[in-house]
Amino acid sequence: PQKQLIVVTPTYNRALQAFYLTRLGQTLRLVPPPLLWIVVEMNSASMDTADILRKTGVMYRHLVCARNSTNVKDRGVQQRNTALEHIEHHNLDGIVYFADDDNIYSIELFESMREIRRCGIWPVAMLAQSKNKAILEGPVCNGSQVIGWHTNEKSKKLRRFHVDMSGFAFNSTILWDHKRWHRSTSDPIRQLDRVKEGFQETKFIEQMVEDESQMEGIPHGCSRIMNWHLHLEARGLVHPKGWLLQKNLDVV
Ligand code: UDP
């Protein structure tokens, strides 16, 4: 049988949310099952999100993150942690992947993930509208062996692993490996740290693997881009409250 994929997506209400979730849902629909989509919202589950999820035809769970996050820069960290707790609590077996709602994913990516034994990693193309450029972030590989990293930004030199949130996936069995996680026993849940933005991925991965030798670069030679991290500046975009039209628009 095929390995289950557990795709974790934090999401929140904004102008492009329906567009993003519909696109991602339709991509996931094209991935051969078994696949579970865990979509996490903050504070409450919105009707719009529920409606989109129901229509995708993908097996999903719609969760709410009840923690109070006062940190405006949180950007989905607590929501991903809610999903990790859910996976751990229900002993879900599969390859866990953090897929933000706004990025673009190829079907090949999801198919390649099924080859991962422990922790898979690959290069991601980052498209930043504000910076007016596209760069690569992620591993340089020889076969499946990670031998170096793509990185361009000086400030990021301090990171141990140069990986984007959408550039790695891991076997959920790692979450049960209590010896790996440097956490107190009073807080046994394996989580993403609320460390500085840009360091969450590396801190999380540092707890899963000792070094590059325990990572599996995919696809062979890490030679193809399989997903794109998009930074579209859409703040302030005016949008209707929901996309369910109760009455016809005025016709002039
Ligand atoms: N996100 C969220 N609440 C927020 C900000 C972000 O749920 O207040 C989600 C967002 O929908 C996306 C992920 O977190 O799935 C990453 O957010 P964003 O793309 O804004 O971060 P960036 O990619 O710019 O770091």
User: Does pTM top 0.90 for this prediction?
Assistant: yes
* Contact call for residues 216 and 144 (beta carbons, < 8 A): yes
* Ligand 1 atom with minimal separation from the 197 CA: 25
* Contact call for residues 10 and 21 (beta carbons, < 8 A): no
Stretch 196-222: mean pLDDT, rounded?
Answer: 91
Out of 121-125, 139-143, 150-154, 242-246, least confident range:
242-246
Lookup: tokens for 135? 């760069």
Whether residue 10 has its Cβ less than 6 Å from ligand 1: yes
Angle at 168 (CA atoms; ends 226, 124), nearest 5 degrees: 40
Per-residue pLDDT of 157-172, as tens digits, reads 688 999 999 999 999 9
- In the chain, % of residues over pLDDT 90: 66
Distance 72 CA to ligand 1 centre (A): 11
DSSP 81: H
ipTM value for the complex: 0.97
Among 41, 137, 201, 216, the active-site one is 201
Task: Tell whether residue 102 is among the known ligand binding residues.
Answer: yes
Whether residue 101 has its Cβ less than 6 Å from ligand 1: yes
Catalytic (active site) residue 201:
yes
Whether residue 12 has its Cβ less than 6 Å from ligand 1: yes
| pLDDT at residue 234, as a whole number | 79
Give the residue among 6, 4, 166 at the shortest CA–CA distance from 84: 6
Give the residue among 130, 133, 111 at the shortest CA–CA distance from 122: 111
- The confidence band for 235, taking pLDDT boundaries of 50, 70 and 90, is confident
| pLDDT at residue 119, as a whole number | 97
Per-residue pLDDT of 173-203, as tens digits, reads 999 887 777 654 455 457 777 677 788 899 8
Stretch 198-221: mean pLDDT, rounded?
Answer: 92
Q: Which residue has the higher pLDDT, 152 or 110?
A: 110
| pLDDT at residue 1, as a whole number | 84
Per-residue pLDDT of 8-56, as tens digits, reads 999 999 989 999 999 999 999 999 999 999 999 999 999 999 999 999 9
| pLDDT at residue 87, as a whole number | 96
Q: Which residue has the higher pLDDT, 186 or 73?
A: 73
